[in-house]
Structures are given as C-alpha cells and as structure tokens.
Chains A and B, each alone.
Chain A
Amino acid sequence: MADQGRSPRSAPGLEPDGTDRRRFLGYLLAAPTLVVAVQLGAETADPQMAEAAIPSPPEPAELMDLGDVLTLAALPTSSLISITMSPDGTASFALPRAEVGQGITTAIAMLIAEELDLPLDKVEITLADARPELVFNQFTGSSNTIRSMYHPVRTAAAIARARLLSTAARQWSVPVSSLTVDQGVIKSKSGTTATYGSLAVAAASTRLTAVSAQPKPESKFTLVGTPQNRIDAHDIVTGNKKFTLDLDVCPGAKPTMVRRPPTINGTVESVPNMAAVTSMPGITDVAVVSTGVAVRGETFGQCIDAVRALKVTWGAGSVDGESDDTVLRKLKAATLPLAAPPLLTHSIDAEFVFAFASNSALETNNAIADVKPDRAEIWSGLKSPIDAQETIAKKLGLPQHAVTVHVAQGGGSFGRKLFFDAALEAAEISQKMGRPVKLMWHRTDDFRHGRAHPMSYSRIRANYALGNVVSYEQRHTSVATDFTHGLGEILTATAAKLPVGGLGFSETVFELTQEVPYNFGPTTQLLNEVPLKFHTGSMRDVYSPNVVCARELVVDQLAATMGKDPVAFRRSFLKKGRYRAVLDKLAEVGQWGTSMPEGTAQGVAVHAEFKGCTAVLVEIDCRPETTGRRIRDAVTGPRITKAVMVVDVGRPINPRGLEAQMLGCVNDGIGLALTESLHIQKGLPLEGSWDNFFYTRQWNTPADVQIIVMPATTGDPGGAGELGVAGSFAAVACAYARATGKMPTSFPINHGTLSFDPLPREPSIPQSPTDGLDYAY
C-alpha cells in the first residue's frame, strides 16, 4: 500500500521519482535593477485522493482542507509578488504575510537562497503593507503561508537566477551552460567571476517581459530541509527587534490607553470627571470612544494613572447575564442528537467540556494610528491587513486607498492577530482626538476584553462489535467563533468549489479542518454553535485541540474495553501508512510501554490536519509530592516530565524552525489540559494577569523534550504553525487518565477551583506595584 495520502506520481508534470519538474510563469519587471515577479496563487490546488483500505469514506478535510481553500481563493486574483536583486548583492522580498514568531520569514528566505544559490544572510525579507490588489493573498492563517508561497517564491527566484546567468553569459560571450554559481558568485570555465550584485543592474529589464522557469528539482536541495536558525535572532537577543510599540515612525504619536467597561461590550453613559482627568499631569487628551474612554499622555505610566482616575457610569454589556454555568447549559441544549446505536453493538458514550481560554500573546493588543481629515496611516502586527484597511476606512469615513496599513513584527499571535481590534480602536481614537496615538492595551484588558477561544462541549458515541469499531460520531457544540476577519469572505468567494455545500462559515471551517485519522466505519462529526456576543477567535487552531482531545480519550477507552494496548489499537485503525510510520517512530523513540511507578503514566495521541500528522507521547507525574508543590501565585499540579513528538509535514523546509513550533505546541497542549482557562462570571472573565491565566510556566514544563521531524513524505510542504497543539493536549489528557485511573471530562482539569483572587472590575486596570526592588535577585 502506498504510504502517501496524496500520491504525487499521478499529478501531471511530475517526474517518475515524484519530483516536481513543471515550468512556472513569471515576469521581468521594468526597473533600474533586476526585479522578478510571479503571480501569487497561480498554483492549482491538487485535490488529493484519500487512501482508505477499510471503509471510512474520506472526510472533507482529507479531500481538501482549509489551507487548500485559501490557496484556491487566490487563483482568480492577478497579484504579483516580487524578488529584487540589489547591486549590493542582496535579494529582497516583501512577504505579504505576518511574522508573529512562527518563523515564516526564515523559511521563505531559505527557499529564495536555495533557488538562487545565495547565502541565507544575503536574503532580506520584509513584511508588506496592506495591498488590496492581493485580495485573498494577504491572510496569514490556518498554517497556510508555506503551502501557498512554496511554488511562486521558488519560481521568482529561479527566473532571477536564470536572468543573472544569461546576463553574465552575454557579457562574457560564453554559453550559459558553461557557467556555475556558488554563493551568489557566477564563474565561467576560464575562471572569470562576477557577483550577482555586480550584474543586478545589467540584468534589469527595460520592459515587462513574460518568462518561464523550472525551479530546481527538490532532490537537489542543499539548504531547504536543513536546520537553520531564525534570521531575526541577532536582533532579538540584542533588543533591536522592533515591535509596534518600539517603532519611532510617527512623530507625536503619544502613549494612549483605554478605560474599559466592567462587563464585555459595556457602553459609556457618562464621564463626570473628564475635565479633571484631562488636566492631570502629562495627560493631553481624553475622549469617549465606542469601546470605553481613551486617554493620551506623555508616558504610559501617566496614562495608567488617568485611566484609573476616570469616573465612568456604564451601560449594560452584551453578555452580562452569562457565566460559565449558564453558557454550558446553552451549549448542552444546542447539541445535535446522536444516532441510535445499531443492533448487536456496544457503545461508548462520553461527553466533555472545554472552558474559555485566552489567546492573548505576550505582546498585548496595540497599534499606532495617525488619522488626518483626508487620510490615515496605521502600524500594527496584522494577519489580515486588507480586511483591516477596509474596515478602518469604513469606520473613519475615508476611501480605502486613503488608509495606509503597515504590518509590524508581532510579538506572538495564536489567532489573536487575525483580528485588528487595536488598530481599529487606535484609528477611532486618533480621529476623535485629532492627534496621532500609540495605543497599548493593558494586560488585564487583554485577558478580559480581548479575544478568547470559546467554551465548547463535545459528545461522542463510538459503537464497536467483534473487535472492530463500527461507527464513530462526534457532536461538537461551541459558543460561536468569530470569523469576521477576512476568512469569512474567502469562504464565501470559494463556496461553490468546496467539497461541503450549503453550510455557514463555522460549519465549513469545521468540515474543512476535522479529520478522523482512523478507520472507524461510518464517521460523522458535526458542529453546532450558540451565538453569544463574547469576543471570540481561533487559538492556535480553531476546533481541533478540543475535538481531538475528546476523541483520543475515547480511543483510549475503546482500546481498554477491547483489551488492546493504546498504541497497538491506534496503529491497527490508522488510515494511512504515513500516520502509522509517525506512530511507530514515536513508540520507539518515546519507549512506549516503559513500566512507570504508580501515580505516573504515559499517554499517547495522534492528530492529522493541514496535510500533516503528529503523534505525541508524554509522561505525567500525578503523585502528591508533585501535585502538592507550592510556588507563590502559581498553579503547580500534575507535571509533565517528558514529551516526545513526531511530526510529518510532507516536506519540512526548516526542521529547526518546525521543531521550535512543535515545542510551543507541546507547551500549549499542557496548558490547555491542565491549567489554562478563563472563568466567566457575570459577563467578564475573572482572569487579569499571567498569575491568573495559567499558561504553562517553567515549573509546569517538561525538562525532557524530543521533537522528531520526519523526512519529506508527500513532497509538498504542509502547514505547521498549529499542527502540534491538538496531539499534545490529547496526549496529556490521556496520560492523566491513565495515571489517575479516571478519564477527565472537563478541561483544563483545574478549572473547577479558582486558584487566585480576581482583580477588581473597576477601575478596569490595576496600578503597577512599587515594591519591585524587594524581588531583585
């Protein structure tokens, strides 16, 4: 049986060895130096054939997933991305995506360096401003960047290389085939050399010329697929990497903060002491805006004082009556029914609850905005800059082209930067005050009024008979996830081409992302949503972490009921050879089956998505001496002592960067399973600091982590940024169940206990402490 789900052998233009030898079209642009452009999105998605020996008909996510949709959406747009060769020998490329820590600038630089035979440090990647003509091509989501940029970027670089070679050949009157390139230096047989930089001007074109090129066969890659460090690492460790609030780009953009309501979406009724606050030291402006009351001043410290000094009467918010228990009741009531079990089968029924969780990054929401009567300029870490530009223009009453949106380096995203809440708010504030602003959200607001992954409830029924799982059903019910950040439009525009018809956005995303990797007979997974007006969004993947955690716990139950080992059981039902290979490697490296002391256990889980697959093994320690560890203002609890992940992304571009992403996913999974959640009480999350929202800390993280990147399997790079969360979450949950002998059904497991004293609701932000020196070490 073939190992690859999407057999490249059948695709037209491919060599018998599976390498891609198609020619791609690009353009030489008329410019003073060599500039090569290609049309982004000209690559047709290859709907793959699923390989299923035993009948679980392929699910939509296997045929075409969300990443394919994003690629497909780009097809009709004529949009050029370009590589510029400068006389100083650097190749530069403005990436129409956001870098928020996922390492895409490094991976794209590697593709360009590979194709050009140029040292990696001679490739410069910047982040492009919002370019409306790119339409759907400037959306950083669903781990789609490398998947959609792989062919276009390589094509552009291949054309540039060919042009530089032909320029040298012409100058030296020798055939191109006699030339070689090493590290950006062209050499003739007779030993004459010329650098790319010295040829950049001569190679420039005087008119737009269409040319085609054949990128290097993948078998000849020497850089792509090898581990490389991040290209921005030096700037980071010296403090020179500039995030939005570090930028000195807009004279007069002064610190600005907002006093926010005591419940989500509460509205300002009156501000009796507005004048008094305006005359506080350092404060320049105070203005009522749609999200609260904004203050602008000389320093953020003075803004904090002013925000706290404001007296505000508030109108009701949008979810004032909602708390964890009321939301859960609504979710249960809205859950779609399961089918009745067939005759002569046994069933496992299970239900799980997943709390709200914040997708807050370490950098809080922020933006710089300078709004003038006839134009506006915005800087922010944005993953959907075109949508931001359009929405901001509408809000300001300006034409879209009058709004310039610059994409800044982002300090983490995890779904948060798909939205542009701070950019929109900063624009409104700047317009109201008539001055440029540098808006920063307070940490407490970022948890309480920022986006959160919504609470969900999952019911599963698995039927089994005669040593086989004969059907699998999952009904997932979630508070509605907000997709109004450009993805919604993309889905509308491509609706007719999708393998799922007539569904709303959320259901479509669900169908396009959820894949059960096992042959469990007829399989249905359905989503229903409860539309409550919380601020929601995805969180390093949309549905998978919760859906997969629930599923893998049930898989363990099935294995136990049927008297099978969890790894052997999974192995026997996995659909693809690729998945089995990943699991086998995991069992070997992770030493599955090692005997463990009582109160500790191993757990294992498998997850397939984004045309990739991961398997995760963790070891957990639930013994009292571990769970009872006392650390100031912290949650300790069970400790993951070891984590092993095997990941197959089809074709790894930068294995070291991929490992880094998976390492982050492991820590996300640990937090989601054990410690990290929002408690909703009367319309507001209680969490207001990192000592309330218990994302994984050093005292929770394993001291032993191994990430194994599988060599290229399908040949096409799959998505990676989010791939590892679901498996990690599920593996921790499964390990916990095995260590304690009880399957957990509510996540994170500590959600039932409030482990901190909530900060007050009013004023919305706390004052900074003054005793910092007492903790110096």
Chain B
Amino acid sequence: MPQHTFILNGAKVTVDAPDDLRLLWVLRDILGVTGPKYGCGLDVCKACTCHINGKAFNPCSVPISYIKPTDEITTIEGLADKKTGALHPMQQAWLDYDVAQCGYCQPGQIMAAIAKVKQARSAGHEIGEADFDEIRNICRCGTYFRIREAVRSAATKM
C-alpha cells in the first residue's frame, strides 16, 4: 500500500492509503479527523471544505496522491490556537451571531468564509454581496443571512 505524507493541522502525518482514495476518506476513515463532513462526495455541497496551503478546497474530490509532503492541510480542528484554545475570528463571529443550527454544514462554511475574505482582499476589496453570492456551500437549515453577518464582522478582525 502506498505511503503518503503531508502536514495536517501543523503536524506531519504519514498514512498508508491507495493512491486514488480521496483525501476526505483519508482524514475521516483513516485518521479519525471528523470535522470535515460528507454531504455529497461530488465537490458540490462544500460540507467537507478544508484549506490547502491557506486556500479553500474540497478533499472529497482530491486523490491523496495529489497531495505533496510539503502541503499544509488545515481542517476545522486546526483553526483555533493550539496552545491557548483562542478561536479564529471567524469562529468567534459564528458564536457572536449564533449562526449554527444543526451545525452539519458549519465547519465547511467557516473554512470557506475565511478563504473568501482573503480572496477578496487579494483582489483588492473587502468581502461584499457579489463575493457572498459566489459561496457555494449548502446550508440546508438556511442560515445564509447570519453567515453573511458573521463573515462581515469577522472580516474586520482578520
């Protein structure tokens, strides 16, 4: 069985897994990292959103063999400060605006939102309506409006 090494939430990990196994299953089924959720396995619902080298992506649609040893994968579990437990401003805003309902989509929403704020900034503007309209993450509980409020507030602290 091929071996794969990458950096997961700041620590180096090595796993035995078939080359074409999608990273989501490496995380969930082999490493027991269950923050990223399964909602489709089709790169559609975005419930599994994580970061690769700071960019949002969907591990359900990336074979493990595409991940390089130097790639830094961050899941929702890796967002808060490891030593102090201090939350990322986006997580804090989620609490302040009481965004979550069932919570199933929210790890993915938070990871997507952080990347979206950064993407807007590197394009030279603050996150606005047009950017929100590009977020594809499904929230079947319909928390979209509170997501918008929370992201706007977090952006001022990022």
Contact = CB atoms under 8 A, between A and B. Distances in A.
Nearest to A241: B103
Contacts of B146: 660, 663
A364 to B, nearest CB: 7
B147 to A, nearest CB: 8
Which of A246, A412, A772 lies at the interface centre, i.e. has the most chain B CB atoms within 10 A of its CB? A772
Nearest to A238: B80
Minimum-distance CB pairs A-B, first 8: A239-B35, A101-B102, A411-B104, A667-B142, A772-B61, A236-B103, A239-B76, A664-B142
B29 A239 contact: no
B35 A769 contact: no
B52 A776 contact: yes
Contacts of A364: 38-39
B69 interface: no
A602 interface: no
A304 B134 contact: no
Interface stretch (A265-273, A294-302, A459-467, A511-519): A294-302
B38 A300 contact: yes
Given A236-B103, A695-B140, A776-B57, 15 more contacts: A229-B95, A230-B100, A233-B103, A234-B95, A241-B103, A301-B24, A443-B41, A668-B142, A689-B42, A703-B129, A703-B148, A769-B42, A769-B43, A770-B63, A771-B43
A19 B137 CA distance: 45
A596 interface: no
A690 interface: yes
A645 to B, nearest CB: 11
22 contacts: A103-B101, A230-B100, A239-B76, A240-B35, A301-B22, A362-B138, A362-B139, A363-B104, A411-B103, A413-B102, A660-B143, A665-B142, A689-B44, A698-B147, A768-B22, A768-B60, A769-B42, A770-B63, A771-B61, A773-B62, A777-B56, A777-B119
Contact of B43 (A304, A414, A661, A775): A775
Contacts of B30: 299
Contacts of A769: 42-43, 61
Interface residues of B, number: 76
B43 to A, nearest CB: 5
Nearest to B67: A773
A772 B58 contact: yes
Interface in A184-236: 229-230, 232-236
A614 interface: no
Given A361-B102, A411-B103, A772-B43, A299 B61 contact: no
A362 B100 contact: no
A234 to B, nearest CB: 7
Interface string B13-36: 000011011101110111010111
A772 B60 contact: yes
Which of A232, A241, A663, A773 lies at the interface centre, i.e. has the most chain B CB atoms within 10 A of its CB? A773
A477 interface: no
Interface in B100-152: 100-107, 110, 115-116, 119, 129, 132-148
B45 A362 contact: yes
A695 B144 CA distance: 12
A697 B115 contact: no
Given A440-B38, A766-B42, A361 B138 contact: no
Nearest to A769: B61
Which of A100, A239, A242, A661 lies at the interface centre, i.e. has the most chain B CB atoms within 10 A of its CB? A239
Contacts of B107: 236-237, 239
Interface in A642-672: 656-657, 660-661, 663-668
A255 interface: yes
A281 B63 CA distance: 16
Given A101-B103, A772-B59, A233 B29 contact: no
A705 interface: yes
A768 B42 contact: yes
A688 to B, nearest CB: 9
A502 B106 CA distance: 46
Nearest to B109: A237
B138 A101 contact: no
Contacts of A689: 40, 42, 44-45
Contacts of A239: 34-36, 75-77, 107
A238 B25 contact: no
B60 A237 contact: no
